[in-house]
Amino acid sequence: MDTANNKSGNKYLSLDKVPMNANGRIVNINMDHLMRKKLTDMGLVRGTEFTVKGQAPLGDPIKINLRGYDLAIRKNDAKQILVEQI
């Protein structure tokens, strides 16, 4: 996934690259059925807005806040989620 700009001028990047405390919106989830279903059940779908809240002491997993709760996700899994920074 390249870093590119969309028509509203926002930056496209993968979720693991979003800087701390920045906000973003999910654009596309490129995962296998099982993981995507888990994310869907947890409220992370296209269009969901989130804030990157922190990372574990060794830098991985990361913690994001969406729909009012905190979710931890491995960077390796987050890599497959395309987002736009807002």
Residue ranges that bind another protein, judged by CB under 8 A: 32-43, 45-48, 54, 56-61, 63, 67-74, 77
CB of 69 to another protein, least distance (A): 5
CB of 49 to another protein, least distance (A): 10
Nearer to another protein, 22 or 71 (CB): 71
Distance CA 42, CA 21 (A): 21
Residue of 27, 85, 3, 10 lying closest to 52 (CA atoms):
85
- Choice between 11 and 30, CB closer to another protein: 30
CB proximity list for 40: less than 8 A, separation 6 or greater: none
Instruction: Give 11 or 42: the residue with its C-beta nearer to another protein.
Output: 42
62, 78 Cβ separation under 8 angstroms: yes
